[in-house]
Structure 1
C-alpha cells in the first residue's frame, strides 16, 4: 500500500504558497506543533489561552486547517481551539507509513492527544472530518468530552449518488476545469465559489492533485455507534448532496446513546462557512448542558 502524496513537487510547492496565504486569514496561533505518530508527523495549531476543555477541529476531505477560518475567531471567545491537518490528506501533516484500516486511522489521533497531554477535549468535525472524529471515538474514548458533527459524511447514512458524481467530476483528469468549479458550487448549495480564494484553491488542489491512499471510509455499524460514551451534537444540512439528511436524522433516533440531532433546512454541505455564528451559538448551548459539561 502506498502513502498519500501530491502528484508532483511543483504542485506541492504551489499548495504551500496558497496554504500560507490562507493561514494569514486566521487568528495567529499561540502554538504550532509537529507531532510524531506511528504513521507520520501531524501538524497541530493551538489558538487561544482561555483554559478549560478545548475544542479539537477535524477538517473535511481534501481540506486542512484554513477551512475553519469562518469559525475559529468566534469559538475563541469562549474556548481554546486546536486544529490539525489530517494525516493522509493535503495539508502540513506528512504521512510516512501506510495506514491500512480504520483502527490505524484512529491510532494516530490517539498519539496526537497523548502528546498534547489534554485531559479532555471536545471533538468537532465537518463532512469527512466528522467521520474521522467518530472513527476515533469508536476505537479510543479516554480523552473525549463530547463530539460535535457538522453534516458528517458516512456516519448516519450512506453516500448519495450525487456525492459519488461530485467525486468523479473533481478527480478525473480529463474533466474541464469549469465543471470542477460548478461542482464546488453544487456542493455549496449553489453559492458562487471564488476560484481565486486561497482556501478554495487549497481544496481544489487537494481534490484534483493529491493522491489519497488511506482506506476508503465505511459507514459505522449501529453497534459501533452505540459504543460511544461521549454525548454527541450533530447538525445535518437540509441541502446536503452527501446523503439524505432526513434519513440520517431518523437513523440517529434508533441509537441508544446521547445524541442531539437536527436538520438546518437552509444549510448546504458547506455549513461551517454559511452559518458560523449560529453554529458557535448552538455549540455553546450544547456544551453548557449539565449532561455534557458535568
Structure 2
C-alpha cells in the first residue's frame, strides 16, 4: 500500500479542523490561502504580507501547520511576502496523493514555487522543518537566495535517546497532563495557549508518512551551496547545539551560526524577537542588489 498520510478516522479529522479554525482566529495579520497542485498532492499555502523583497518560505515544525507562525508572522511579513506551506504527509489541510520522502522534497519544492509563481526565495525551517529545508537545499537549489535552519534536530547531531523514549511513551498515552509535561521538558519557558495546545493534541490524530530526520554526512552537508544560517538553543535537549553548529560551519561553504545562551529547543517561542531579528538581518544581507535599492 502506498504511504499516504491520513487522519486516523473521521472523528480525528473533525477534531483537527475544529482546532485549526480556532487557531485561525488568532492570526495577528490578514492572510490568503491557495491549494497548489503538485505531483504529490495539493499543498495548502498561507500567504502573508506584501513588498518587493525576495519572499520567505517557512517550513513548520512537527505537528505544526501554516498557523504555527502566528507569534512571529507580523515581524517576518512587515515588508515582504511570506509563504507558509503545510507540508504534505503531515497534519494540515494539504492533501497527499503520492508517497513523498526526503529524496523527493526538492521536487515538491520546485513544483510549489512554480505554482506560486515565485522565482527565488529565502527558505526558513524550524525543527522538523529544518530537516526538510536542509534536504531541499542539499545537492543544489538554484532558486534559494538563502537557507535558515532553527534547531533542526537529528540532522547535525544525534537526537538523544532519552528524548525519543519520552516522545514514544507520551505518544502511547497522550493525556493532557503528559503532553503538557512533555512540552515543558522539551521547550522550557514556553507556555502554549489553549488554542495552540488543542492544535498540538489534535495533530496526534494524523498518521504522518514522510519519515524522520537522519544525520547528514559531511559530504552531504558540503553540497549545500547557498548562504546558510543555523540558530540553536544552548540548553536544547533535542541535540547538542555546539556539535550541530560546528558541523554546519565546518562543512557548509557559506555559513553563520548562533547559539542562544539559556534557550532550549523551543527558541522560536521562547525568544521570538531575537530569532526573528537574526533571520531578517541574515536574509537582507543576501538579498539580490536590485531588491535592496529601495532600502
The TM-score, its normalising length taken from structure 2, stands at 0.91
In structure 1, the partner of 2:292 is none
In structure 2, the partner of 1:24 is 25
In structure 1, the partner of 2:148 is 148
3-state DSSP class of the match of 1:103?
A: coil
How far 1:142 moved relative to its partner?
2.1
In structure 2, the partner of 1:199 is 196
In structure 2, the partner of 1:114 is 114
Looking at structure 2, the residues matched to 228 and 292 of structure 1 have their Cα atoms a distance apart, in angstroms, of: 18
Contact 1:232 1:258 survives alignment (8 Å)? yes
How far 1:231 moved relative to its partner?
0.4
Looking at structure 2, the residues matched to 287 and 230 of structure 1 have their Cα atoms a distance apart, in angstroms, of: 12
Looking at structure 1, the residues matched to 252 and 180 of structure 2 have their Cα atoms a distance apart, in angstroms, of: 41
In structure 2, the partner of 1:276 is 272
How far 1:20 moved relative to its partner?
1.2
3-state DSSP class of the match of 1:119?
A: coil
- Segments of structure 1 that go 5 or more residues without pairing to the other structure are none
Looking at structure 2, the residues matched to 155 and 220 of structure 1 have their Cα atoms a distance apart, in angstroms, of: 5
1:288 aligns with 2:288: no
3-state DSSP class of the match of 1:61?
A: coil
Contact 1:169 1:179 survives alignment (8 Å)? no
3-state DSSP class of the match of 2:37?
A: strand
Change (3 A) 1:210 1:252: same
3-state DSSP class of the match of 1:57?
A: strand
In structure 2, the partner of 1:50 is 51
Contact 1:46 1:81 survives alignment (8 Å)? yes
In structure 2, the partner of 1:248 is 244
In structure 2, the partner of 1:184 is 183
3-state DSSP class of the match of 2:157?
A: coil
Looking at structure 2, the residues matched to 139 and 6 of structure 1 have their Cα atoms a distance apart, in angstroms, of: 33
3-state DSSP class of the match of 2:149?
A: strand
In structure 1, the partner of 2:12 is 11
The TM-score, its normalising length taken from structure 1, stands at 0.91
How far 1:180 moved relative to its partner?
2.2
Change (3 A) 1:49 1:177: closer
3-state DSSP class of the match of 1:233?
A: strand
Contact 1:238 1:245 survives alignment (8 Å)? yes
1:230 aligns with 2:226: yes
Change (3 A) 1:265 1:175: same
Residues paired across the two proteins, number: 287
In structure 2, the partner of 1:67 is 68
Change (3 A) 1:293 1:193: same
